[in-house]
Structure 1
Amino acid sequence: MIIENFSNLIRRQKQKYGNREAFRHKDPHTKNWISTSWETFALQVKNIAKAMVEMGVNEQENMATYTQNRPEGLIADFAAYSNRAVMVPLYATSSEAQIEYIIKEAEIRFLFVGEQFQYDNARAVQKRFPVLEKLIILDSEVKKDDEDTTSVYFSEMMALGERSQRDDVVEERSGKVTDSDLCNIIYTSGTTGEPKGVMLTHGNYRQAMRIHIDRLNMVSDKDLSMCFLPLTHVFERAWTYFCLESGIRVAINFDPKEIQKTIREVQPTIMCSVPRFWEKVYTAVQEKIAQAKGIQKVMMSAALEVGRKRNLSYARTGRKAPLWTELKYKFFDKVVFTRLRAAIGIPKGNIFPTAGAPLSDTINEFLHTCGINIVYGYGLTETTATVTCFDTVGYEIGTVGTVMPEVQVKIGENNEILVKGPTVMKGYYKKPLETQAVFTQDGWFRTGDAGNLSSTGALVLTERIKDLFKTSNGKYIAPQAIETKLGEDKYIDQVAVIGDQRKYVTAIIIPAFEALKEYAAQKQIQYRNLEELIKNQNIQKLIQERVNELQKNFARFEQIKKFTLLPRAFSMEAGELTNTLKIRRPIINKMYRAEIEAMYV
């Protein structure tokens, strides 16, 4: 299959699919789902592309989007690509200071903003940085400030494009796009330092589309994908583009907090997500299993036993299950697993790519047991997402799958995973020294992750090298492994493991507050607020017991000796989490210095 660049993707798909649905979205105000055809999508892209010409957008100029997931963001993307311009996506949750850094470095003149929060931040930056010429406001209910004479609403820009006669310019620019042209600059979230702009070319994406079509031959244009992660995240961006390239319908989720409701409304067959989503699904199902009694509990236990045998022992290895096992599985699939999947919102699920953080083997096995086909993988922004992922048959729990077609992986010094291939980035924007530092002399990209290759060629992740620390006794600790294991527990929401140059390992733990409140009610524990609840001796004892059980398979020197419970979750707003929900360890160490020191007295 020949894959072309993105400059005329939407137009090509319009010719193929016509009035078939391209995507749907929920209006944030009316809450009604609105369907958009390929014909309409292509016309919208064409008009915004012409409006960009009228506004003075240049070829290979950097533009930016600063919004929650919404159709206008995709329209702006492909209009920019039609003009041979570059799109720089900003996280909708980013602060004023965060967007100012990127706007200045990337010299953004035109910025698409979503809601009032994004407009207000962008407008504040614009007042200090006049190079930012124009804000294009996507939400018609955003109120402009009284002094704003330059911003326009997206509807006004669309009207400008409808009146424009600059089709010839767009056509000429679109035809000039080459593989070496920049397509996106995606800024990494910066867990330890300032963000770096990853330069991804049209060639990077074209190759990414090709190798995913090659590997993921179980999906087709009959599937329906849920666009759930921020489109700023390379995983969702590349996945949604893959869906559009494959003619797969996309449902755009606007509010991440509403995903549980939205997924039940849409019932997608495919959806990419981070492990945190499935951790919450797992804890909810485990809670239901724990509450089951009598015949229901017996049925669930039997179903899980049969599901594990059929899906992991036989289907996973490509073997046909014995007739009796298959018949029992069909029965349990109908009376147990189908109902479970329907309760989640995926009764007709196909595949569910999952990456971005470690996924517990326990949760991975459980989901496959229940007939939820998790395609666990590994990738980075710098590699246009996927480096490895599970195969349909032969995947190994405990690994992140086998290497994608035409991508090369080898293990370097200090067990660092090195990658080479057509999807590896061009470099970091305006940072030649940082670019040089992440490539070996012979052109391999240094991922910063440690791992090894199994005998079958599957990649095993062991730790993030930058996260790895050493206790004062000289023992190396991989905190992510401990945090991932503790994350399985229904009473534990977030964990930050501490211990660099300390004599033993400790942790700051954020409880799952709703589950904790239910436990307190059951045990008749009285409290006035969360601060009082987490200090209760019975609660402390509960968490200690859960921690002890979950870490019993770790070496003694790896085990958490003391922990501190906090009454609120880590957040992006407080700076404790990146926009991709990764822990910022230096920030946490600084913010909770007193609590940490108290655990070493």
Structure 2
Amino acid sequence: MVWDNARTDPDEVQFLRPDPIPRSWPASRTLRDGPSPVTCGQFRDDVLTLARGFVAAGVGRGDRIGLMSSTRYEWTLIDYALWSIGAITVPVYDNSSVEQTQWILADSGAVGCVVETAEHEAMVHDVRQDLPGLRQVWRIDGGDLIALAGQGRTVDDAEVEGRRRAVNGGDVASIVYTSGTTGRPKGCVLTHRGIHCDVLAATEALKELLHPGASTVLFLPLAHAFARLIQVGMVYRRATMVHCPDLAAVPAQLRRYRPTFLLTVPRMLEKAHDKARRRADDGHRGRLFGLAERVAVRYSRALDRRRGPGLLLLRPAHAVFEVLVYRKLRGAFGGRCRMAIVGGAPLGERLGHFFRGAGLTVLEGYGLTETSPALTTNTPSAMRIGTAGRPLAGVQIRVADDGEVLARGPVVFQGYWNNPEATRETFTGDGWLRTGDLGSVDTDGYLRITGRKKEIMVTAAGQTLAPAQIEERIREHPLVSQVMLVGDRRPYVAALVTIDEQAWPRWRAAHELPAVSVGQLRRSPELRGEIQAAIERANATVSHAEQVKTFDILPRDFTEDTGELTPTLKIKREAVQAHYGADIDALYRGH
């Protein structure tokens, strides 16, 4: 793709580098307001230059090279440079622990590792004695990539060209270790063919989004297969990508670069919605926002009907709120963005309708690291909110008798690195991948995910339930940040609830409570009453046996740093249960 783009459209801007750091990788030129554009031709030259450096450093075909960095231009550059010489990229999340880093580098047999910072370098140094195969470590912000480029001047372009042409579809492109909500990470072996098939199918399905002239600000970690798919799709379609390594800087970058579409996860859309609602409340326009929200949802639902939104009431109301509310909401995403791709976890149906009604169509998809990763997606012309869409070209989906979603196709991985037992367990006898997710497929082929098989709870009374949908309902309350149900082999269902730190000060002041932390007030009647009301609303949507009977408000929110959330903000249930075991036991004391 890189070489084809440079040959056919060398002047198309492939990347915009916000405020590039010269010692990390030099910029060819810089625009007046700061960013450095990288054309297709320049990107090919950068990839070739760094590839020569890796060859000079002794990186061979099939060698595994760790890559531990935040989302930045150099991540993409390193990825393609390694691929172009037949080496294998092994991503490591930039916030991984020492133990996780050691395990991934050791299990993959990495012979080299590129790190971003001095802190990362020190982390690898601390476990170097446990990594006998690790020969070299290069630090991005220490100038090591530039030094590699200098070292590569001794390598002829023809040598890189020969290595590049020797790479075939069956070769391993990457070993991606699942962040996982349970257990030790397993290395998913992804081939060039699998990634290529997935990118071709996904970009064809989403061609209205991915095309020359389209742009996005990528802020999800590239160590995650979902963001990696968009990286390759952007290169393939010659669209423009801006890397943003700092989540706190995302709002400013969206305003600065005004992308045409976004890649995100459900939790971030939930936070965007809650932030808009809080701003309306702070400006004493909460009632107006509530009405605008109801109109957006009704308008979106009407779009799925043959007659569409009614002319008498709904269309005029929608037009009014377009001026008063919706346009400002989209302005937070830069103003040009009218579509978003979401994955990593199911998106709430009401939230999907709200954003579409407000002018930002959210296309939900589904996939796994093991499937390169995309399996299904909604598209602008074929979407059903509340589902994960229909299978991509070449992908087959079926649902087993126990409700587990099974998949088959060229995008499915070869297996887990160094783990034949786990590989055997993840495939059926006739070759279908067990996804571990529960779901259903409707008569039109749309897949709906209802939960994780491992998360299914069976109460002491024998009641089986999937917690995700009830958790989602409780989380709709503006004061709630996270919810995790418990109750497996227990007499009833209970919930652990965390409070949104942004919403807390305003709610606390409105109830004339002292200016203290959640932890100091989590037993207060006012706070417990508020959460009880949210739980009662959720309970009204499920059977009596599935209802949450009691709950505990935790003193702090779940975070990545404490190991309770994955990089895509999904709850690591085992970690939460380990941290709050005593609190969970207290919910069942006396029963």
1:338 aligns to 2:340 (yes or no): no
Does the CA contact (< 8 Å) of 2:118 and 2:139 recur in 1?
Answer: no
Give the Cα separation in 1 of the matches to 2:173 and 2:102.
21
Question: Residues 166-565 of structure 1: matches in 2 within 5 Å?
Answer: 166-219=156-209, 220-290=211-281, 307-308=296-297, 310-314=299-303, 316=304, 329=318, 332-342=321-331, 344-565=332-553
Give the Cα separation in 1 of the matches to 2:513 and 2:448.
44
1:403 shift after superposition: 1.4
- Per-residue CA shift, 1:395-415, capped at 9, x if unaligned? 222221111111100111311
Question: Normalising by structure 1, what TM-score?
Answer: 0.91
- Per-residue CA shift, 1:211-256, capped at 9, x if unaligned? 1122112122111111111001110000111011101100101112
Q: Match of 1:33? A: 35
1:359 shift after superposition: 1.3
The counterpart of 2:14, out of the listed 14, 17, 22, is 22
Give the Cα separation in 2 of the matches to 1:577 and 1:309.
33
Does the CA contact (< 8 Å) of 2:300 and 2:354 recur in 1?
Answer: no
Give the Cα separation in 2 of the matches to 1:496 and 1:301.
27
1:65 aligns to 2:67 (yes or no): yes
- Which letter maps to 1:312? R
1:588 shift after superposition: 1.9
Farther off after superposition, 25-34 or 424-433: 25-34
Give the Cα separation in 1 of the matches to 2:574 and 2:8.
51
1:594 aligns to 2:574 (yes or no): no
Does the CA contact (< 8 Å) of 2:110 and 2:134 recur in 1?
Answer: yes
* Equivalent residues, number: 577
Q: Match of 1:578? A: 566
| RMSD after superposition | 2.3
Change (3 A) 1:286 1:552: farther
Farther off after superposition, 566-575 or 489-498: 566-575
Structure 2 residues not aligned, in runs of 5+: 23-32
- Which letter maps to 2:182? T
Question: Normalising by structure 2, what TM-score?
Answer: 0.92
1:364 shift after superposition: 1.0
The sequence identity of aligned pairs, in percent, is: 28
Change (3 A) 1:319 1:36: farther
- Which letter maps to 2:248? K
The counterpart of 2:119, out of the listed 97, 117, 120, is 117
Change (3 A) 1:433 1:318: farther
SS in 2 for 1:391: coil
Does the CA contact (< 8 Å) of 1:21 and 1:38 recur in 2?
Answer: yes
Change (3 A) 1:291 1:554: farther
- Which letter maps to 1:111? C
1:336 shift after superposition: 3.3
Change (3 A) 1:548 1:302: closer
Give the Cα separation in 2 of the matches to 1:336 and 1:594.
45
Structure 1 residues not aligned, in runs of 5+: 1-8, 141-151
- Per-residue CA shift, 1:85-132, capped at 9, x if unaligned? 111111011011101111111111111101232122112122442421
Give the Cα separation in 1 of the matches to 2:249 and 2:521.
28
Q: Match of 1:149? A: none
1:596 shift after superposition: 0.9
SS in 1 for 2:204: helix
Give the Cα separation in 1 of the matches to 2:128 and 2:101.
11
Give the Cα separation in 2 of the matches to 1:60 and 1:408.
30
Change (3 A) 1:178 1:415: same
1:106 aligns to 2:76 (yes or no): no
